[in-house]
Amino acid sequence: MENHDAKSAFRPQGLLQSYELYEYIVETSVYPREPELLKELREVTTASHPLAIMATAPLAGQMLAMLLKLIGAKRTIEIGVFTGYSLLLTALNIPDDGKIKAIDVDRDAYEIGLPVIKKAGMEHKIDFVQSEALPILDQLLENASVIFIYGFSWRLAPHCHYMLNQGEHKGSFDFAFVDGDKVNYRHYHERLMGLLRVGGVAAYDNTLWGGTVAMHVDDLPEWRISVRQSMIEFNKFIAGDTRVELCHAPIGDGMTICRRIS
């Protein structure tokens, strides 16, 4: 296997055999139906960010939009926003009173796409949090809103009561799109199993990592190796996870779609 294959995730066609086949699909079925403001967001990203290729591919985006509609998603989580292609796409496919908890360490990238999100009238659905994703998911699971009620005991010693409104968000999300740091997918999955309702769906992007999961490690450039290993471990783990039904779709860079069943 030559190294150019190992880089295939960063070619527009992703895992498809040829650019011509990719072009055929997007020209026939994707671009003619892609909302104008998603196109605009793509263009703004390409013009403003050297890593525009990180944005979710419109072909995979179309499948996400279909999933959101099929399950009637209203409350969603997104890990890895970048300039907001998948975020705007999600916002466009949930109801007007739907809500997205969108988490990314990089606010600058989010702000590149924000004017387009505002133009689309979708900002009110989005709660963007600039942070590492893991602590935010933990907070949602714990939801420890602590109310201090100061009082005095018979000895006049102050004491306080803690009212822990624990777990309010447990099982309350319909959908999660995970496209952040790949090495944490396994940790994100554990949290999402608590946050998604039974019947809720999590979609994990890049799970074939340019096809490298099935390549020999000696044939790969250094920068591919650690994520490849994380993906191999995640794919193996999730395939055996009885809490979910799953579909490993070779779309884009590989997308694993899980439906929580217990």
Ligand X SMILES: C[S@@+](CC[C@H](N)C(=O)[O-])C[C@H]1O[C@@H](n2cnc3c(N)ncnc32)[C@H](O)[C@@H]1O
- The contact set with ligand X (CB under 6 A) reads 54-56, 79-83, 85-86, 103-106, 109, 132-133, 179-181
| Beta-ladder partners of 151 | 159
DSSP 198: E
Angle of helix 185-195 relative to helix 222-239, nearest 10 degrees, comes to: 30
Q: Give the integer Cα–Cα distance in Å for 135 and 25.
A: 39
76 vs 86: CA distance, rounded Å: 12
From the CB of 66, what's the least distance to ligand X, in Å? 16
Q: What Å distances lie between residue 20 and 14, 27, 209, CA to CA?
A: 12, 10, 21
Shortest CB 174 distance to ligand X, Å: 18
Question: Which lies closer to ligand X via its Cβ, residue 104 or residue 174?
Answer: 104
Closest CA to 92 of 136, 126, 141: 126
State in angstroms the smallest separation of the CB of 113 from ligand X.
Answer: 8
Helix (H) or strand (E) holding 44: helix 36-48
Cβ 61 to ligand X, closest distance in Å? Answer: 7
Nearer to ligand X, 118 or 161 (CB): 118
Which H or E element spans position 148? strand 148-152
CB of 221 to ligand X, least distance (A): 18
